[in-house]
């Protein structure tokens, strides 16, 4: 009955001859008993949360030719924000298995184990206005790249998380990534802006001074992120959200507590500038300049579907 659910297309397990209700994430082959005893999981994202139950069913991607038996969470409750405001019906979790409900809840690993992918990789292209976005499973598309790939190893398995060695503003080092581990960055397709610890975000907002009427956009400096010894740069037109109401910095505060945080997040503005490749076999992320046909038009709405916490509740049957 939630608006977030009722306004979208919904999955009905009763209409599927191949579905199975799972009682517990750590026992993915155990069906729910007749008394209904099962676990309910609540997942909290950077913006919003949802609760659901465990289900197993056939999942097919693309034209229906990439299929596998997959365990997933069927949502039973969702927060109105952001889910009532977004056009998509669900979240396709593609993090590493450590962020899944259990080893048996990794879609990518299931597809690889099922032998339906050429390679254990996927590539993501975020289109500008007028372009289609796409994700390629089992391969990546060099025709969507305008530079060679820069590879960065995953530092902590869970998110697609890599190390950033420095942040540059107008070519000047900001000294934000001191220490042996530098700054940690999650590459996340579910976060609509760039994101980082509030202290850093406030510093950048103060330093950049983006004019709300867009009058200084042509004089704003580039922001560079040093990854694997290469500078991945965004111009003002990449990181400033321009809308009819004016200009805002496409950067949001997101304080993720330890042990998962603190984290920076490469969200939509970064992913529109750079084509990204996620290599499961070698646990690394590749970055290349994306080849676009149209100009960037950043989204000014700040939402994050990065999974920041979760907990399970045991529902005992009668």
Residues 197/262, Cβ–Cβ less than 8 Å? yes
Residues in the chain where the model's pLDDT stays below 70: 1, 294-318
Cα–Cα distance measured from residue 156 to residue 166, given in angstroms and rounded to the nearest whole number: 18
Radius of gyration of the chain measured on its C-alpha atoms: 20
pLDDT value of position 114: 85
pLDDT value of position 304: 46
pLDDT value of position 295: 57
pLDDT value of position 64: 78
pLDDT value of position 315: 55
Q: How many angstroms from the chain centroid is the CA of residue 100?
A: 13
Residues 192/301, Cβ–Cβ less than 8 Å? yes
pLDDT tens-digit map of 64-94: 788 889 999 999 999 998 898 888 898 888 9
């Amino acid at each position: 009955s939630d608006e977030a659910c009722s306004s979208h297309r919904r999955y009905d397990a009763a209409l599927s001859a191949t579905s199975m209700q799972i009682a517990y994430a750590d026992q993915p082959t155990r069906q729910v008993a007749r008394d209904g005893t099962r676990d309910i999981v609540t997942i909290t994202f950077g913006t919003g949360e949802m609760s659901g139950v465990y289900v197993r069913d056939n999942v097919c991607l693309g034209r229906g030719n990439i299929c596998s038996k997959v365990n997933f969470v069927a949502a039973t409750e969702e927060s109105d924000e952001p889910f009532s405001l977004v056009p998509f019906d669900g979240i396709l979790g593609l993090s590493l298995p450590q962020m899944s409900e259990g080893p048996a809840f990794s879609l990518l690993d299931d597809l690889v184990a099922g032998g339906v992918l050429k390679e254990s990789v996927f590539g993501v292209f975020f289109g500008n206005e007028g372009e289609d976005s796409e994700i390629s499973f089992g391969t990546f598309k060099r025709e969507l790249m305008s530079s060679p790939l820069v590879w960065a190893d995953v530092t902590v398995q869970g998110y697609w998380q890599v190390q950033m060695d420095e942040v540059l503003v107008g070519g000047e080092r900001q000294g934000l990534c001191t220490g042996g581990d530098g700054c940690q960055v999650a590459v996340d397709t579910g976060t609509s802006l760039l994101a980082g610890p509030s202290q850093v975000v406030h510093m950048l907002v103060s330093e950049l001074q983006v004019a709300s009427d867009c009058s200084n956009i042509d004089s704003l400096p580039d922001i560079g992120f040093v990854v694997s010894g290469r500078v991945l740069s965004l111009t003002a037109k990449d990181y400033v959200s321009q809308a009819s109401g004016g200009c805002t910095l496409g950067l949001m505060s997101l304080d993720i507590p330890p042990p998962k945080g603190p984290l920076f997040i490469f969200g939509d503005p970064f992913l529109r500038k750079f084509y990204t490749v996620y290599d499961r076999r070698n646990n690394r992320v590749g970055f290349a300049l994306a080849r676009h046909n149209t100009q960037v038009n950043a989204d000014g709405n700040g939402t994050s579907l990065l999974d920041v916490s979760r907990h399970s509740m045991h529902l005992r049957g009668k």
